[in-house]
A and B are shown apart, each in its own frame.
Chain A
């Protein structure tokens, strides 16, 4: 009698595996690594077969067995599976599913019919067992470092195969003449493990394909040692293979996001408490002055705790991260689908796909980005005829890029279309009864597009023009703690710039004193700090400049934007500290009264009740227990820069 709970587990697991196979087959055309995909499908079907056999789902097990055999033959030609073979696989899993849901005792004989997969050379060779042999070669690597280094310098890479004895000589004979060296072999349970070095010039095209086939057949893998995996033309191939071999057999566990968030909260609280304990110890260190051993041991343990907390925080944060590439690929499809429907030619470029963002941020960013891209291609990019008649290329260009800047990520959507006409915006806003008299320049007028219900589109298309989008876009981004800005030149194009905070985490900050109170600045964008006398700064009217390595860079006084709580406000400052920031190669400086220390702190968002402010990145609690505001250096500089420009009368009037 099968335990009910066990049966439930088997049932749920089998359903899950069937879904995985179906999903993998549906995504087959878009799967970049088909070798890995067919391996995974094989393993899932194998597991389904095993479970069904145990729980007497005999018919299902029988189908799974047939499908497994079929998959085994397809493994050698993963990249060349025909449409018919793919259909057979889909029919096969459908038959498994159908039989499974019927209790596994029967199946429709006509539901699928397996065809013979095309045979490839070497199919009669058997595959060894799955035991890893790399351990043997590690020792060999250590003993032959000199040779390995020489080979690596000469451009060789290393791979190993576990092959049956009967074919070892055949392989060496076959490969020996093709600039592959057989370096070492070792017998293990009757099988021979062989290590080869492959000349990189051979490691492409047919030779690489052969090596990959052999590795697939004989459970091979690329070998590496940390110091040996250096830059080489086939580094990417090696990395892919390493990644593949590491991922083989790796289990994935689905964890609900609230659980991950809860773990992160606890890790960060642990971090705060550790800081406070360390602070407490420092304050009372004098009590232990005669107990050196205790002090040493305490500090040593404290270092271990701090290191582990950082590691825990890093791993937990990484659980929440997802690559931004997923969204970028989606946008690519949005553009290509639009191009098929319209008569516009649009070139779509992306940059910064390697950035990982918090999953929640990515999920919420999807809709606003789709809207902005659709606006760019529908309203921004002109038709080919219009573009040519205005002297532009027939093909329009839309760029989507992402860049990490300090504690933020900047996402830019740029097009070379017709741009936004401030006059048109102004007239449209006026006709809708929106307040326009207070607007002072084109930039402020263009920002009206974010007003609720605003749209200048003459017609609503399927793509855009309903006027609810930009307001919702701004709102979505604001909910993430970010902001959106726009710059546009009529006839030349538009650029939307979204800034989003990176997620709450432990970050290293510079604790400074300004006008009697302490504030924190993230050190990510600060490249240099120097203590100077106030009069050493160069002045030109209201503007100040700091000499940074022979180059005069603008310098802004943070005390102009924070209130003064100095005990003696009138007392002149004998020294100040200049902090140089660098963003995108542009250096700017800001000055503060004092630099207290650098400290790793947990950045928390501002309480919801108080709202957000662009100058404040967040808040934290110092080890002593008092809160501290974390200021956004770039926004502070921008605010001071704007104030300086206004003060100098640099205001553009509306046309």
Chain B
């Protein structure tokens, strides 16, 4: 659900029953996804956009966790790979990795980090409404339909960040 839709939902609460409205207030829409074969979730407010995996230009040298860059409406955006999963893939497959990305229906989740847009390659993207209390618990995992999803640490998208 996009930010706009969520906002719309809360603004039109009168459409919902009192019980449903109370539930909405204590719930959080979060995005769940799989990155580098691990399941993560992130609060919807952290997500700026989800796009199809674009054609990108890989970095010519090893810059750690950055895979490459692409043109997002005139801005150069970096695709980050904190676990270096796709960086390794590029090293072994070369440009054939781009075919792999489209075949696996990879998407890019765009986060905003300290004023800059950063992209993360993901697949199996979905949204879920979870109990806010559960999300804010200190535990790193949030159960979504009994499956534990690790809370995604957006700071790992900074150079030198780890997951």
- Report which A residues bind B (CB closer than 8 A): 269, 272-273, 516-517, 519, 561-565, 569, 604, 606-611, 613, 615-616, 619-621, 625-629, 631
Q: A616–B61 contact, CB under 8 A?
A: yes
In the assembled complex, the Cα of A611 lies from the Cα of B161 at a distance in Å of 11
A/B interface sample: 25 pairs, CB < 8 A = A273-B74, A516-B94, A517-B57, A563-B91, A563-B94, A565-B58, A569-B94, A604-B76, A608-B114, A608-B116, A609-B78, A609-B80, A609-B118, A611-B64, A611-B66, A616-B59, A616-B61, A621-B71, A626-B55, A626-B71, A627-B71, A627-B76, A629-B59, A629-B60, A629-B69
6 closest A-B pairs (Cβ-Cβ)? Answer: A610-B66, A611-B159, A607-B78, A562-B60, A565-B95, A610-B78
Q: A626–B60 contact, CB under 8 A?
A: no
Q: A615–B61 contact, CB under 8 A?
A: yes
Task: Mark out the residues of chain B between 30 and 63 whose CB falls within 8 Å of any chain A CB in the assembled complex.
Answer: 55-61, 63
Seed contacts A569-B94, A611-B64, A621-B74; 14 additional CB < 8 Å A-B pairs: A273-B74, A516-B95, A517-B57, A561-B61, A563-B60, A565-B94, A606-B63, A607-B116, A610-B80, A619-B76, A621-B76, A625-B71, A627-B69, A629-B69
In the assembled complex, the Cα of A563 lies from the Cα of B157 at a distance in Å of 23
Question: Which one of B59, B94, B95, B113 lies within 8 Å of A609 (CB-CB)?
Answer: B113
- Minimum CB distance partner of A562 in chain B: B60
In the assembled complex, the Cα of A609 lies from the Cα of B71 at a distance in Å of 15
Contacts of A516 in B (CB 8 A): 94-95
In the assembled complex, the Cα of A583 lies from the Cα of B16 at a distance in Å of 72
In the assembled complex, the Cα of A607 lies from the Cα of B76 at a distance in Å of 7
- Minimum CB distance partner of B79 in chain A: A610
Q: A628–B57 contact, CB under 8 A?
A: yes
Contacts of B78 in A (CB 8 A): 606-607, 609-610
Question: Which one of A273, A562, A607, A608 lies within 8 Å of B69 (CB-CB)?
Answer: A607
Q: A564–B94 contact, CB under 8 A?
A: yes
Contacts of A517 in B (CB 8 A): 57-58, 60
Contacts of A608 in B (CB 8 A): 114, 116
Q: B116–A627 contact, CB under 8 A?
A: no
- Minimum CB distance partner of B157 in chain A: A609
Q: A609–B66 contact, CB under 8 A?
A: yes
In the assembled complex, the Cα of A562 lies from the Cα of B157 at a distance in Å of 24
Contacts of B118 in A (CB 8 A): 607, 609
B158, CB-defined interface residue at 8 Å = yes
A562 CB → nearest B CB, Å: 4
Question: Which one of B57, B61, B80, B160 lies within 8 Å of A627 (CB-CB)?
Answer: B57
In the assembled complex, the Cα of A201 lies from the Cα of B21 at a distance in Å of 95
- Minimum CB distance partner of A566 in chain B: B94
B77, CB-defined interface residue at 8 Å = yes
Q: A610–B63 contact, CB under 8 A?
A: yes
Contacts of A273 in B (CB 8 A): 74
Q: B77–A607 contact, CB under 8 A?
A: yes
B152, CB-defined interface residue at 8 Å = no
B101, CB-defined interface residue at 8 Å = no
Contacts of B113 in A (CB 8 A): 609
In the assembled complex, the Cα of A349 lies from the Cα of B98 at a distance in Å of 56
Question: Which one of B61, B90, B95 lies within 8 Å of A613 (CB-CB)?
Answer: B61
> Knowing A604-B76, A609-B80 touch, does A615 contact B60 (C-beta < 8 A)?
yes
- Minimum CB distance partner of A619 in chain B: B76
Contacts of A619 in B (CB 8 A): 69, 76
A118 CB → nearest B CB, Å: 62
B141, CB-defined interface residue at 8 Å = no
A296 CB → nearest B CB, Å: 29
Contacts of A569 in B (CB 8 A): 94
Question: Which one of A562, A607, A609, A626 lies within 8 Å of B61 (CB-CB)?
Answer: A562
Contacts of B91 in A (CB 8 A): 563
Q: B76–A616 contact, CB under 8 A?
A: no
Chain B CB within 10 Å — which of A269, A564, A610 has the most?
A610
In the assembled complex, the Cα of A538 lies from the Cα of B78 at a distance in Å of 40
Q: B63–A611 contact, CB under 8 A?
A: yes
- Minimum CB distance partner of B55 in chain A: A626
In the assembled complex, the Cα of A629 lies from the Cα of B118 at a distance in Å of 18
Task: Mark out the residues of chain B between 108 and 133 whose CB falls within 8 Å of any chain A CB in the assembled complex.
Answer: 113-114, 116, 118
Contacts of A562 in B (CB 8 A): 60-61
In the assembled complex, the Cα of A625 lies from the Cα of B76 at a distance in Å of 10
Contacts of B116 in A (CB 8 A): 607-609
Contacts of B94 in A (CB 8 A): 516, 563-565, 569
In the assembled complex, the Cα of A635 lies from the Cα of B61 at a distance in Å of 13
Contacts of B64 in A (CB 8 A): 610-611
- Minimum CB distance partner of B66 in chain A: A610
Chain B CB within 10 Å — which of A607, A616, A628, A631 has the most?
A607
In the assembled complex, the Cα of A558 lies from the Cα of B58 at a distance in Å of 16
In the assembled complex, the Cα of A561 lies from the Cα of B59 at a distance in Å of 11
Q: A610–B76 contact, CB under 8 A?
A: no
- Minimum CB distance partner of B98 in chain A: A565
> Knowing A607-B69, A609-B113, A611-B159 touch, does A631 contact B76 (C-beta < 8 A)?
no
In the assembled complex, the Cα of A199 lies from the Cα of B95 at a distance in Å of 73
Chain A CB within 10 Å — which of B58, B94, B158 has the most?
B94
Question: Which one of B56, B60, B158 lies within 8 Å of A561 (CB-CB)?
Answer: B60
In the assembled complex, the Cα of A333 lies from the Cα of B103 at a distance in Å of 66
- Minimum CB distance partner of A624 in chain B: B71
Q: A627–B157 contact, CB under 8 A?
A: no
Q: A519–B71 contact, CB under 8 A?
A: no
Question: Which one of B55, B74, B160 lies within 8 Å of A272 (CB-CB)?
Answer: B74
Contacts of B159 in A (CB 8 A): 609-611
Contacts of A628 in B (CB 8 A): 57
Contacts of A561 in B (CB 8 A): 60-61
In the assembled complex, the Cα of A610 lies from the Cα of B59 at a distance in Å of 10
> Knowing A565-B95, A626-B71 touch, does A609 contact B158 (C-beta < 8 A)?
yes
A628 CB → nearest B CB, Å: 7
In the assembled complex, the Cα of A565 lies from the Cα of B157 at a distance in Å of 26
Contacts of B58 in A (CB 8 A): 517, 563, 565
In the assembled complex, the Cα of A19 lies from the Cα of B58 at a distance in Å of 55
- Minimum CB distance partner of B68 in chain A: A627
- Minimum CB distance partner of A610 in chain B: B66
Contacts of A611 in B (CB 8 A): 63-64, 66, 159-160
Contacts of A519 in B (CB 8 A): 60
B45 CB → nearest A CB, Å: 19
- Minimum CB distance partner of A276 in chain B: B74
- Minimum CB distance partner of A622 in chain B: B71
In the assembled complex, the Cα of A575 lies from the Cα of B63 at a distance in Å of 31
In the assembled complex, the Cα of A627 lies from the Cα of B56 at a distance in Å of 8
In the assembled complex, the Cα of A443 lies from the Cα of B118 at a distance in Å of 37
B94 CB → nearest A CB, Å: 5
Contacts of A613 in B (CB 8 A): 61, 63
A223 CB → nearest B CB, Å: 50
B64 CB → nearest A CB, Å: 6
Q: B57–A626 contact, CB under 8 A?
A: yes
Interface string of B14-34 (1 = CB under 8 A from A): 000000000000000000000
